[in-house]
């Protein structure tokens, strides 16, 4: 067993499971471990207290599903999909239905850079959040077309979590523009370093929370009592964003074409944003 396995953290196990698109019960079954053991390990912050057999079982199962643990520049370990694994159909329980995502093979080289950050919606915004998110979707698509910077922004409870991927200079340039954007406040970088491959080949915006999401992310600590992205590690942030990307291919988000007006306001559990969207829809003249 690799010596770095002893440093495996609960956050990394949770992120690896998210990338594999399986729930805790399925991971326990594949590892021949109890469900309570998986739950206990994922609750641990920092290195887990587990014997070598348990750690080896976790690594072997994740490896078989195309999830790898890579050494990072800071001496820790990151979690990623092996190049090309996104092309392989998955039979994992609980994975949202929808088209299979493909890894951008152009980025599987040293020029791929990944920046993950979180921020807060500026309370001084003159437009409601659902309209601002629609603008972010459009501007992100333009950056993808002109600079080949891809990724995703997840918005919930007035907080943003986002990843940007592409050439290092382009990613830094885009983040510099975002940091000057008055739609955001309190920006904080979670990770800013090279990546073995591009995880997100397109640009997308995912917002809100729905009852159907809880099967996949109901146990995510950062979503308990609101949204708290400041507690995420690079691996767990990437895992959460990967799951949110896939949830867009499942109901109710898969049919979302525009947020202006937002057709999901009645079902969305992000009431601050949804209530404003519903009010705008009921009284367009006031928007």
Please count the other Cβ atoms lying within 10 Å of the Cβ belonging to residue 100.
10
Residues linked to residue 9 through DSSP beta bridges, in sequence order: 47
CATH number of the domain enclosing 55:
1.10.260.40
205-223 tens-digit pLDDT: 999 899 999 888 888 889 9
Is the pLDDT confidence value at 46 over 90? no
186-209 tens-digit pLDDT: 899 999 999 988 989 999 999 989
Note whether 78 and 113 are same-domain residues. Answer: no
Note whether 137 and 14 are same-domain residues. Answer: no
Note whether 115 and 208 are same-domain residues. Answer: yes
Is the pLDDT confidence value at 60 over 50? yes
Note whether 163 and 57 are same-domain residues. Answer: no
Please state the domain count of the chain: 2
- Tell me how far apart the alpha carbons of residues 211 and 50 are, in angstroms, rounded to a whole number: 33
100-143 tens-digit pLDDT: 343 333 334 457 999 999 999 888 776 888 888 899 999 999 99
pLDDT of residue 2: 44
State how far the alpha carbon of 126 is from the alpha carbons of 3, 121, 138, 182, 287, in Å.
53, 11, 18, 10, 10
Higher pLDDT, residue 219 or 93: 219
CATH number of the domain enclosing 208:
3.30.70.100
Note whether 247 and 134 are same-domain residues. Answer: yes
Higher pLDDT, residue 15 or 92: 15
Nearest alpha-carbon partner for 208 in 285, 163, 272, 119: 272
Structural domain boundaries, residue 214: 106-286
């Amino acid at each position: 067993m690799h010596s770095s396995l002893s440093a495996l953290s609960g956050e990394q196990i949770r992120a690896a499971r998210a990338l594999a698109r399986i729930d805790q019960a399925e991971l326990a079954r594949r590892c021949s471990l109890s469900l309570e053991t998986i739950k206990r390990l994922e609750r641990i912050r920092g290195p887990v207290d587990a014997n070598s057999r348990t750690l080896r079982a976790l690594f072997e199962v994740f490896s078989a599903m195309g999830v790898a643990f890579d050494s990072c520049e800071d001496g820790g370990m990151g979690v990623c999909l092996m190049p090309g694994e996104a092309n392989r159909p998955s039979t994992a329980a609980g994975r949202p239905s929808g088209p299979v995502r493909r890894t951008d093979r152009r980025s599987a080289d040293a020029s791929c850079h990944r920046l993950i950050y979180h921020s807060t919606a500026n309370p001084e915004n003159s437009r409601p959040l659902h309209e601002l998110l629609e603008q972010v979707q459009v501007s992100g698509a333009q950056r993808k077309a002109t600079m080949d910077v891809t990724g995703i922004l997840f918005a919930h409870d007035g907080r943003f979590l986002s990843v940007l991927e592409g050439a290092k200079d382009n990613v830094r340039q885009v983040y510099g523009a975002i940091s000057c954007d008055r739609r955001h406040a309190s920006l904080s970088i979670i990770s800013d370093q090279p990546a073995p491959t591009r995880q997100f080949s397109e640009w997308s915006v995912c917002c809100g929370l729905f009852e159907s999401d809880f099967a996949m992310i109901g146990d995510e600590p950062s979503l308990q009592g609101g949204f708290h992205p400041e507690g995420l590690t690079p691996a767990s942030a990437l895992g959460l964003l990967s799951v949110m990307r896939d949830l867009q291919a499942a109901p109710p988000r898969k049919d979302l074409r525009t947020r202006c007006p937002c057709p999901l306001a009645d079902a969305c559990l992000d009431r601050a944003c949804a209530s404003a969207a519903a009010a705008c829809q009921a009284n367009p003249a006031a928007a």
